[in-house]
Amino acid sequence: GAVVSQHPSRVICKSGTSVKIECRSLDFQATTMFWYRQFPKQSLMLMATSNEGSKATYEQGVEKDKFLINHASLTLSTLTVTSAHPEDSSFYICSAFTLLNTEAFFGQGTRLTVV
């Protein structure tokens, strides 16, 4: 099946710094990718929809200036958590649908810890 790769899988950063998470579709092109956040013992919550070549669409309550999304190519979307705070510590997951298939593929997730 199609593969979506996320990097890094784990990151620890200091409060106030920025962290970039990459999401790549390895064997297919994805015009749209999705970013989710998951807190412990909770379900995945959609943060934003990343559109290649245009601005991302953010869900209500998600600060677009804090969570910067760039989808510069058909195989890469990045999520940058700016001025990170401990409450941003979470599991971040990206996904993408292939254009021909109807199922979404997910990255392995990134565990962010802000200290």
Q: How far apart are CA 69 and CA 54, in angstroms?
A: 10
Binding status of residue 75 toward other proteins by CB under 8 A: no
Binding status of residue 28 toward other proteins by CB under 8 A: no
Stretch in the footprint of other proteins (CB under 8 A) among 31-39, 61-69, 70-78, 81-89? 31-39
Q: How far apart are CA 103 and CA 2, in angstroms?
A: 10
Binding status of residue 21 toward other proteins by CB under 8 A: no
In this structure, what token pair is assigned to residue 73?
A: 């190519």
Chain-centre distance for alpha carbon 17: 18
In this structure, what token pair is assigned to residue 104?
A: 């979404």
Binding status of residue 50 toward other proteins by CB under 8 A: no
In this structure, what token pair is assigned to residue 78?
A: 């990045």
Binding status of residue 60 toward other proteins by CB under 8 A: no
Binding site for other proteins (CB under 8 A): 1, 4, 6, 30-32, 34, 36, 43-46, 49, 91, 93, 95-109, 111
